[in-house]
Structure 1
Amino acid sequence: MGPDPAVEIERKFDVDDDAAVPLLHDLPGIGRVAQPVEYQLKAEYFDTEDFRLAARRITVRRRTGGEDAGWHLKIPVGPDERHEHHAPLGRKGDGVPASLLDLVRVHIRDRALVPVARLSTRRIVHHLHGEEGGILADLMDDRVRAEVLHPEQDSLHWREWEIELVDGSRDLLDAAQTRVTDAGARPATHSSKLERTLGPLLRTVTDARPAPTPDGPAADVLLAYLHEQLSALEQQDPQVRRDAPDAVHRMRVATRRARSALATYRSLLEDADAVRSLREELKWLAGVLGKARDAEVMHARLREMLAGEPADLVLGPVGRRVDLELGGDYRRAHAQVLKTLRGKRYFRLVDTFESLLTAPALTARAAEPAARLIPELLNRDIRRLRSAVHEARHHPAGLGDHPALHQARKDAKRLRYGAEAAAPVGRKKITRIADSALGIQKILGEHQDSVVTRDLLRRLGAAASQQGENGFTYGRLHALEQGAALRAEERFRKEWKYFPTALGTQ
């Protein structure tokens, strides 16, 4: 996994050219304010030609001068907070480092990053030291000259103050804000120097997702849920590239949720072929992610089983063989995930998903009240699940892997996500259906995990035998998994007896 980003917490202020920096030494917790230090900073900002990053308040720059010269990528995570990723300065013509490009690739896809602005800043830094000597915060007094490079050249200049926390608290930040605003500073109308430079050229991306209500259009339920899943995919994309814990799983879940919602509520969207195509692409992406996730899950499952075994029943280097086999599987699968996330097919998938939400083509039914139409669409999925369960109960899998059980698990998952999406309709029974479908999905998922794990244990046991190792423990774990599969199927049959009936419509 790559290094964690630095957390930048700061507030910006517009100030007049002749404003005087106020006294700061008596702020809470401040022991002294060091003599100001002056720097000359030069920065070049990069973006797509249509400012896709700046529109999301993301900045990529190459800066010389000051204490942190190099490449900086800043991604907003809150009103005052950004995550900042660094890369070495390198040579000027080298372009944006690949390590930073990967973290914004989901937004730019295969578009090029080009220089869009250059800034020269005369910065005077006031370090605010705590009573024990460490720096708690910095006040930066910046006089900026900015040059717009694209689409047409322009220039402007201004003065601003920034207060950035180092080891101080937000209480100190609040107190410093009060002090500088009393001195005539005004909270900045921009979130970054680049945003101020681009000005009217920039169209900030706003959260355009609808706010669904029971009496509002049924389409709002679907579109709000799809917005959530696209946001989740965009948030997890850079985390997957960094191999952050649980990121593959969360990204996979987002693709599955979107795909299920598009199936349950497909009658609300006009272009059936386009919806079908997007669902197939989401299925493909989930499949690529699934190979890495399955190796991860099976590794954790076997490690937990081994940890629960008495030491005298673990014969041979079982743990090491499990680690080598599944650790290797995960690394290979994750490498394939990275290759996929850098490919055109993935870029076009995200383009299509984004376009669907930007200009959705809706059917006439989409305008019907959610409280009336959504239960009808969910009932269709309930009937689908009941049919699959009927088939599965007449064809028990036992220790095997019957297709009917597979289908019931998939249909339970689809109903669960469809019911989750319908939460804004505000009916308790919809929540109960989502919870019940999740319960069925988990039980059948445990059965499937047992099937896959037993297959792996057979292979590992055979390989161990060929290496002259004792195969006893693999056989024992296999038997334990057999018991787990039988118990899961029995629990499924009992749980199903209490599954909710169909929803009434209004």
Structure 2
Amino acid sequence: MSTQQSGGGSAIHATEESERKYTATPDQPLPDLSGVARVASIDVDTVELSAQYYDTSDLRLLRSKITLRRREGGDDAGWHLKLPAGLDTRTELHFPLGTSGNGHGPDRPPAELLGLLRGIRRNRPVALAALLSTTRNRRRLRDSEGALLAEVVVDDVTAVRGPDDIELQWREVEVELGDGGTASGSELLDAVEAQLATAGITRSPSPSKLHRVLGDLMPVLPEATGAAGYLRDYLVKELHLLELADVAVRRQAPESIHSMRKAARRIRSALQTYADDVELDDTLVDELRWLGRRLSPARDLEVQWERLTDRVADIPIESQREATKARIDEYFSAKSDAARIESIEALDSERYVELLAGIDALIDQLSVAPSKHRKRAGLRPEKLVQSIGSVAKKVSKRVARVGDAEDPVERDERMHRARKGAKRMRYAIEVIAPLHPGRTDRALGRFDSFQDLLGEFQDSVVAREHLVDMVSEQHHAAESSFGLGILYRLESEIGAQQAAHLERAWRKALRAARKLWD
């Protein structure tokens, strides 16, 4: 588990933890783990832990697979915020236990952590949701050099949940990778799991202790039915990704703005395509477009900075390369800082919170029995496929118009419109993937190549715009201006190459997609 500083010099530290949970009964002892590969010694001890878990009244954090707690005892006492990060893996943010001088106390989570969760919480307050006391019997598996491979613990837990004061007790086993076990990763976890299985200790159905305590209080969406159900499930998935990306953007995590903008675009495209089919108000489309525009500058600058930095290697003279690289860094550094501030201001706004609430309401609307809405009651899932066909016709027209452009500026604008239409079509296909999984997989595979072409073209257009801005700035050395000119020529050539292959790439993508509705 590597530790890193997170969040612009704050007291928050982040670690990646990979662990698995198992159910066990009081009469199930742990098996002998000394035979697990690479284990040379096992340290055994017992620690007492107590933790207070916090959540909104409607369990927003738990529903997003996030936990916020204050723990005392053990090696990592403090405030912990756990975020999903993949199979068996979570990102855990640590904040030290504080006093009133730090702005938080035993019943007041740190403002720094609550700020990261503003979008998840919908800006609602959090309160004590559960109290857990744990007696932890710990076994630390070490290799021949003393490095910690994994920690296997038996937890005897007593929990009291806040909503109704019900008390629960259970035993569970946790296996967490140590710094010395990360190289083998899942192989080590699998080896320990195999040993546990010999003692009848099996994987837990609950992803966390808090889920075991409060899981039955979480609202449950009815089973998806028909066309509205496909759309609802797609929105639920993408909203979850958007929320997690929101937290990552606030933490300044790599690629976070890209992930958030992509999730917002997918939601918007799905709503645009199927608004008429399931009686949706288009207000959310406008608001999602607003969010995308607030996120785009920061992401575009990130992409362009990396792109042009890599392109510097194509400048033939070393002095020109160095001068050009320095000028590119100076230019993008200033613009990126300003763009990031604009992104965070958008996420901190009431308008953004209202947008999230609007998506929540739409998901609830799509979960209502279709018999209560005559149009949705008569809508067959196959009708959604026809909507994709309508989008395809629009994209075909946009692609055809690119070849009729009279000058490069007009060509660039028409390519951009074709790109936006193709993205909308791709995301619409993703919505109906459960309806025709094989066909949609093939269609999306073709779209990957087509969108790569359009994306490369658009990146070349934006790169040229930035290069012109840099050249127009005053008081810079001639070496850098000459280097920027070389990069402009290269980007122009790239754009022309992509435009020349547009129609052929679209025919291939359309041929695969047409099988969905023909």
With normalisation by structure 1, the TM-score equals 0.82
Residue identity matched to 2:163: P
1:127 and 1:484 mapped to 2: Cα distance? 56
Q: From the superposition, tell whether residues 54 and 251 of structure 1 become closer, same or farther in structure 2 (CA, over 3 Å).
A: closer
* Cα distance, 1:334 vs structure 2: 1.9
Contact 1:27 1:175 in 2 (8 A): no
Q: From the superposition, tell whether residues 196 and 427 of structure 1 become closer, same or farther in structure 2 (CA, over 3 Å).
A: closer
Could you list the runs of 5+ residues in structure 2 that have no partner in the other structure? 7-12, 100-104, 182-187
Q: Is residue 457 of structure 1 aligned with residue 467 of structure 2? A: yes
1:446 and 1:82 mapped to 2: Cα distance? 33
Residue identity matched to 2:351: R
Query: Counterpart of 2:350?
Result: 344
1:221 and 1:253 mapped to 2: Cα distance? 19
Contact 2:132 2:159 in 1 (8 A): yes
* Percent of aligned pairs sharing the same letter: 32
Pick from 349, 355, 363 the counterpart of residue 357 of structure 1: 363
Q: Is residue 222 of structure 1 aligned with residue 231 of structure 2? A: yes
Pick from 71, 74, 87 the counterpart of residue 66 of structure 1: 74
Query: Counterpart of 1:177?
Result: 196
Q: Secondary structure at the match of 1:317?
A: helix
* Cα distance, 1:132 vs structure 2: 4.6
Alignment of 1:438-477 (within 5 A): 441-464=451-474, 466-470=475-479, 471-477=481-487
Residue identity matched to 2:254: P
Q: Secondary structure at the match of 1:5?
A: strand
Alignment of 1:232-311 (within 5 A): 232-271=241-280, 274=281, 276-311=282-317
Pick from 106, 119, 124 the counterpart of residue 111 of structure 1: 124
1:356 and 1:39 mapped to 2: Cα distance? 47
Greater mean alpha carbon deviation, residues 306-315 or residues 424-433:
424-433
Query: Counterpart of 1:213?
Result: none
The CA RMSD over aligned residues, in Å, is 3.5
Residue identity matched to 1:319: K
The number of residue pairs the alignment matches comes to 487
1:268 and 1:179 mapped to 2: Cα distance? 53
1:197 and 1:496 mapped to 2: Cα distance? 52
Q: Secondary structure at the match of 2:289?
A: helix
Query: Counterpart of 1:370?
Result: 381
Alignment of 1:91-240 (within 5 A): 91=99, 92-93=105-106, 95-148=108-161, 150-166=162-178, 167=180, 169-178=188-197, 180-181=199-200, 190-198=206-214, 200=216, 202-203=217-218, 210=224, 217-240=226-249
* Cα distance, 1:325 vs structure 2: 0.9
Per-residue CA deviations over 1:234-263 (Å, capped at 9, x if unaligned) read 332222223332222222122112211211
1:448 and 1:348 mapped to 2: Cα distance? 32
Q: From the superposition, tell whether residues 129 and 230 of structure 1 become closer, same or farther in structure 2 (CA, over 3 Å).
A: same
Contact 2:227 2:379 in 1 (8 A): yes
Per-residue CA deviations over 1:38-70 (Å, capped at 9, x if unaligned) read 333222211112222234443221111222111
Larger radius of gyration: 1
* Cα distance, 1:445 vs structure 2: 4.1
Alignment of 1:78-93 (within 5 A): 81-91=89-99, 92-93=105-106
Query: Counterpart of 1:393?
Result: 403
* Cα distance, 1:20 vs structure 2: 7.6
With normalisation by structure 2, the TM-score equals 0.81
Per-residue CA deviations over 1:422-444 (Å, capped at 9, x if unaligned) read 44443877667656665555444
